[in-house]
Amino acid sequence: MEIAGSVALVTGSNRGIGRRFVQQLLERGATKVYATARRPELVDIDGVEVLPLDITDQESVTAAAAAAPDVTLLVNNAGITTQGSLLTDDLTNVRRELDTHFWGNLAMVRAFAPVIEGNGGGAVVNVLSALSWFVYPGSGGYAVAKAAEWNMTNAVRLELAGRGVSVQGLHLGAADTDMMAGYDGPKVDPADVARASLDGVERDAAEVVVDEWSAMVKASLADAPEAFYAQFA
């Protein structure tokens, strides 16, 4: 599909990667962009239609689909990140991760796939992570949820293949956003993330791997895990 002339909805639009998606969609000539957030008052981008949306609330998801019946491109960007042990910490945060990254994004796909199909076809982008493919100490909840979202992305791609709706999995390492403010390491520009993804939408790419770190992690899956995880010992 072409970005110019599309009608897009972006979740988590108030900051970070979501904000950059909205800006680039407008720059590339999208006819309309629905910018959504749990706190819509924080969306301060001109030229968009702002909608309240909590992807973990089915009523909110249903209301968003009703309010945006012309969508042809869905960008599932909203997310959270928590830290902790899967074995010893309270499981509340792990459930929040799964409720957001797996169940919330699946709810969005289920709500908007018929909308996109009914508008003549289009695309879905699920913002994933290099942590779909590995885990480091303390990141278990987030990594488990992203791994689940990754294979959910593959599954819905197969189901939607004959309905004119392409599904992209977008993988990246650390981006220079508020969520990663405490990370001391290389970070990719969130504008580059949005640009790579939208380029991928236009060429119907099933997967976009943004940075060298994510590409290295993906390549490591073909080898024995001991070598990769030795760095965390």
3-state SS string for 62-107: HHHHHHCCCCCEEEECCCCCCCECCCCCCCHHHHHHHHHHHHHHHH
Nearest residue to 231 via CA among 164, 135, 126: 135
Q: What is the pLDDT of residues 126-162, one digit of tens each?
A: 999 999 999 988 999 999 999 999 999 999 999 999 9
Q: Which CATH number fits domain 7-232: 2.60.60.20, 3.40.50.300, 3.40.50.720, 3.40.1010.10?
A: 3.40.50.720
pLDDT of residue 205: 98
pLDDT of residue 225: 93
Query: Where in the chain are the domains?
Result: 7-232
Q: How confident is the model at residue 100 (pLDDT cuts 50, 70, 90)?
A: very high
Q: What is the pLDDT of residues 52-81, one digit of tens each?
A: 999 999 999 999 999 999 999 999 999 999
- Look up the pTM and report it: 0.94
Q: Roughly how many angstroms between the first and final C-alpha of the chain, as a whole number?
A: 45
**Could you give the strand order of the β-sheet that contains 165-171, starting from the edge strand earlier in sequence?**
49-52, 32-37, 7-10, 73-76, 122-127, 165-171, 207-209
pLDDT of residue 67: 98
Residues 6+ apart with CB under 8 A from 67: 34, 51
Q: How confident is the model at residue 110 (pLDDT cuts 50, 70, 90)?
A: very high
% of the chain with per-residue pLDDT over 90: 87
pLDDT of residue 232: 81
